[in-house]
Amino acid sequence: MSQSPDSRHSHATDVQRLGWALGITGTFMVLEVVGGWLSGSLALLADAGHMLTDTAALALALGAALVARRPSEAHRPHGHHRAQVLAAFVNAVALLGVVAWILWEAVERLREPRAVAGGTMLGIALLGLVANLAVLRVLREEHDANINVAAARLHVLGDLLGSIGASIAAVVILTTGWTPIDPILSVVVALLIVRSAWALLLKSTRILAEPGPEQPELRNTLYRKMKRGRRQLTPGRMLVYRIAVVVAWQLIRFFWATCRIHSRPGFERAQAAVRESKSLIPVYWHQHLLFGARALLDLRDDGLKVGFLISASVDGTAPALLVQRVGGHVIRGSSTHTGARALRDYYETVVKQHVSPAITPDGPRGPAHEFKPGAVMLAQLTGKPILPISIAASHTWRFRTWDQFELPLPFSRVVIAYGEPVRTPRGLDAESLARMQAEMGRKLEELQAEARAALSRE
């Protein structure tokens, strides 16, 4: 959806003001930490923790303003929002840890009062007062049309009170020498942090636990039956899944980014097959899941709609969210339990919706490198070609799992080999089907050898 010139100008203005406010607040937060450490003032350290909540609120508001300037992404329109909410959740948890430390330290200082440099404390507190006034000036009320800016200004107002309190405590210490005012004030500021952090934690948890308007899933008929009466997808479980998916996606991106694609033999042939057939049946061994998925996603520009078969159980929710995050299509079902009914349902998925379901023919539980009949039967039913894919890396970590899963180490050279597309004749009897399975298994092994040979060539 396009944006009007006035809307774009408004977003640009918000970004500039939030950027200035974030810079001022973040810089002074660091200054308060240093000043609190040098002066021995717990109140200043507590106020720095409160300014951390302001910095987080401003950063989230700035992120929202930046996202608002971007055109929507069709395959994951809510991904940026989810990332911001997760950042808010982590920030809230960290702040509660800071509060626990402040309260513990305050109790210790009330038991054994410590010397506080009142002059240094007063100077830093007054500078904090000026900094908060400057931020309030930047986030002045006439710009309240942006709810993120208005919320950020409320955070800064709370921190302004903390700076005033720290200034008063410094004056008390300078005039009377009564240092317990410092930990007492730090407890008051800690309670302000708890209020903000707890509200942030509840709000972010509620949003993360919501199912959300995710991409529609492709579900076979057995999926609807399996969904009844099984374990429920509770908000708590959804929250855990969403956090796990973000962590997993960042790890995947790390390995994809740090490994260098050395060569892609057969890539042009695969591109031509995608353009000609619109959909096909990609196959690779289970141990090559990480870069096998990358091999298919690299064909999206040629029109490939990649589908991944995900368990119909509640435990399949996290993998489904991960598939949606990378831009793939989720096919809910089970290669173990759906059988012929799944093949019938996948016919419409492959032929009419042109989704190419990625298949690991030795999955989901092995034996390793044993080509099972599912891919051949699906190719026979749909008339679509099977596209063999194999991966080789210069340095890998091989897990002691049934499939001997291979994880290319960072900065390794990786070869992604695409084999010749294979069409399966219709009307195969059981003996011919077994021969076809064996042939496809040999083709994958030969392609593996080709990928390793390409890796050794400079």
At residue 391, what are phi and psi to the nearest 5 degrees?
-125, 140
Choose between 204 and 403: higher pLDDT. 403
Q: Is the pLDDT of residue 411 over 70?
A: yes
**Partner residues linked to 332 by β-bridges:** 219, 310
Q: Is the pLDDT of residue 438 over 90?
A: yes
pLDDT at residue 253 in the model: 87
pLDDT at residue 67 in the model: 60
Say what percent of the chain tops pLDDT 70. 77
Average pLDDT over residues 29-40: 83
pLDDT band at 355 (very low <50, low <70, confident <90, very high): very high
What are the b/e assignments for 206-217, b being 16+ CB within 10 Å? ebbbeeeeebeb
Q: Is the pLDDT of residue 362 over 70?
A: yes
Q: Average pLDDT of the chain?
A: 79
- Nearest alpha carbon to residue 21 among 160, 121, 124: 160
pLDDT at residue 333 in the model: 67
Could you give the dihedral angle defined by the CA atoms of residues 253, 255, 260 and 263, in that order, rounded to the nearest 10 degrees?
A: -90
pLDDT at residue 349 in the model: 83
- Locate tokens 């990625």: which residue? 358
Q: Is the pLDDT of residue 231 over 80?
A: no
- Of 183-187, 335-339, 344-348, 443-447, the least confident: 335-339
Q: Is the pLDDT of residue 354 over 50?
A: yes
**Partner residues linked to 59 by β-bridges:** none
pLDDT winner (highest mean) among 67-71, 263-267, 363-367, 433-437: 263-267
- Of 215-229, 300-314, 317-331, the least confident: 215-229
- Of 125-129, 179-183, 195-199, 368-372, the least confident: 195-199
Average pLDDT over residues 422-450: 91
pLDDT at residue 447 in the model: 95
Q: Is the pLDDT of residue 152 over 60?
A: yes
pLDDT band at 390 (very low <50, low <70, confident <90, very high): very high
Tokens of 393: 């890396």
pLDDT band at 69 (very low <50, low <70, confident <90, very high): low
pLDDT at residue 302 in the model: 92
- Nearest alpha carbon to residue 128 among 170, 100, 172, 187: 170
pLDDT at residue 74 in the model: 44
For the entire predicted model, the pTM comes to 0.62
Choose between 361 and 90: higher pLDDT. 361
Residue 23: half-sphere exposure toward Cβ, Cα within 13 Å: 7
Residues 362, 369 contacting (CB under 8 angstroms): yes
pLDDT at residue 3 in the model: 46
pLDDT at residue 407 in the model: 94
The domain limits of the chain are: 5-209, 218-456
CATH code for residues 218-456: 3.40.1130
pLDDT at residue 365 in the model: 85
Residues 133, 178 contacting (CB under 8 angstroms): no
Angle between helices 147-176 and 181-209 (to 10 degrees): 160
pLDDT at residue 45 in the model: 81
In Å, how far are 14, 104, 131, 188, 279 from 191, measured between CA atoms?
30, 13, 22, 5, 59
Could you give the dihedral angle defined by the CA atoms of residues 227, 228, 229 and 235, in that order, rounded to the nearest 10 degrees?
A: 60
Which one of 1.10.1660.10, 1.10.10.10, 1.20.1510.10, 1.10.490.10 gives the CATH number of domain 5-209? 1.20.1510.10
pLDDT band at 222 (very low <50, low <70, confident <90, very high): very low
Average pLDDT over residues 284-310: 92
Say what percent of the chain tops pLDDT 90. 27
Each residue of 76-89: pLDDT tens digit?
Answer: 445 555 666 666 67
- Nearest alpha carbon to residue 415 among 395, 434, 390: 390
pLDDT at residue 294 in the model: 94
